């Protein structure tokens, strides 16, 4: 007697299994991050310190800060995300969890996507939430602060997704942090340009729809391609290690 389930049932079971695996990876990363609070707080403190010290080192004039404020916040956010990328796979690599993820029957790129989403929730989203306070500090108007928060909300996931590729490529290497910066920063430049350009256009009263559409296109492109590239890079790094 043939007891094999119909294809529709098997497909539904596979989907449930993949979603459960992604949820498990996401929940595990969130729990581990709150146990290692130093790694969680370092990017946020760095973000606040850079924005706070910049006026002291350059110029505290209101006219200068209101013009350069969006760029200051975007560069600080970019560097804060970059600071946290080395830990994206490092702890799992050290304790052997990463090899187990690679051996799972679920697609590796989806598990990496879950880890990247957790990284953004722990790093990128808090930066967005801190931005209104720091925006007031650099004398941005309310409209510019709103647009800046929106660009960071769209742009920081792109930074995490692109950064996952660099973190996977440099996994297990000496001076991984320096190599990671050299690999990732050139890929961050378009996001930085359009992120600050959107705020500049909003402050000048120009339409920002085209800028936001390009930012959204960057996000969709990163969501589509980055998990596959990071999964391939991770397999290469583990095979070489």
Assign 3-state DSSP to the chain and report helix, strand, coil percentages, each to 5. 85, 0, 15
Provide the pLDDT confidence category of residue 1 given band limits of 50, 70 and 90. very low
Query: Would you say residue 38 has pLDDT above 90?
Result: no
Q: Does any domain span residue 1? A: no
Residue 63: what pLDDT? 84
Average pLDDT over residues 100-104: 82
Q: What percentage of the chain reaches a pLDDT higher than 90?
A: 42
- Do residues 138 and 189 lie in contact, with contact meaning Cβ atoms separated by under 8 Å? no
Give the residue among 43, 28, 160, 46 at the shortest CA–CA distance from 95. Answer: 28
Residue with tokens 């049932």: 9
Average pLDDT over residues 23-50: 87
Query: Would you say residue 14 has pLDDT above 70?
Result: no
Q: Does any domain span residue 49? A: yes
Residue 5: what pLDDT? 56
Q: Does any domain span residue 174? A: yes
Residue 41: what pLDDT? 87
Question: DSSP label at 36?
Answer: S
Average pLDDT over residues 211-232: 93
Is 238 buried (19+), middle (13-18) or exposed (0-12) by CB count in 10 A?
middle
Q: Does any domain span residue 33? A: yes
Query: Would you say residue 2 has pLDDT above 50?
Result: no
Considering its fold, how many domains does the chain have in total? 1
Average pLDDT, the chain: 86
Task: Give tens-digit pLDDT for 140-178.
Answer: 888 889 999 999 999 999 999 999 999 988 887 777 778
Q: Does any domain span residue 90? A: yes
Average pLDDT over residues 121-127: 93
Residue 36: what pLDDT? 79
Q: Does any domain span residue 211? A: yes
Q: Which domain holds residue 196?
A: 7-240
Query: Would you say residue 8 has pLDDT above 70?
Result: no
Average pLDDT over residues 205-221: 90
Q: Does any domain span residue 135? A: yes
Question: Rounded to a whole number, what is the distance in angstroms from the first to the last CA of the chain?
Answer: 48
- Do residues 169 and 183 lie in contact, with contact meaning Cβ atoms separated by under 8 Å? yes
CA distances from 151 to 46, 112, 116, 212, 239 (A): 20, 24, 19, 7, 38
Structure tokens at 216: 């959204």
Q: Report how far residue 197's alpha carbon sits from residue 148's, in angstroms, rounded to the nearest whole number.
A: 10
Q: Does any domain span residue 2? A: no
Query: Would you say residue 86 has pLDDT above 60?
Result: yes
């Amino acid at each position: 007697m043939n007891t094999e389930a119909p294809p529709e049932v098997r497909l539904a079971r596979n989907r449930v299994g993949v979603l459960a695996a992604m949820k498990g990876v996401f929940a595990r990363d969130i729990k581990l991050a709150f146990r290692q609070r130093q790694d969680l707080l370092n990017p946020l403190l760095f973000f606040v310190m850079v924005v706070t010290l910049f006026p002291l080192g350059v110029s505290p004039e209101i006219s200068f800060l209101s013009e350069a404020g969006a760029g200051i916040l975007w560069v600080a956010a970019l560097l804060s995300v970059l600071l946290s990328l080395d830990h994206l796979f490092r702890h799992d690599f050290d304790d052997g969890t990463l090899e187990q993820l690679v051996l799972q029957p679920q697609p590796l790129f989806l598990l990496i996507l879950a880890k990247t989403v957790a990284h953004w929730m722990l790093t990128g989203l808090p930066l967005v939430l801190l931005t209104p306070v720091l925006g007031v500090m650099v004398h941005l108007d309310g409209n510019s602060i709103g647009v800046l928060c929106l660009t960071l909300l769209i742009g920081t996931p792109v930074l995490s997704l692109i950064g996952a590729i660099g973190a996977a490529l440099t996994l297990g290497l000496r001076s991984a942090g320096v190599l990671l910066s050299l690999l990732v920063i050139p890929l961050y430049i378009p996001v930085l340009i359009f992120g600050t350009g959107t705020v500049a256009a909003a402050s000048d009263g120009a339409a920002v729809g085209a800028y936001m559409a390009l930012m959204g296109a960057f996000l969709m492109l990163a969501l589509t391609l980055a998990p596959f590239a990071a999964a391939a890079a991770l397999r290469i790094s583990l095979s070489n290690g």
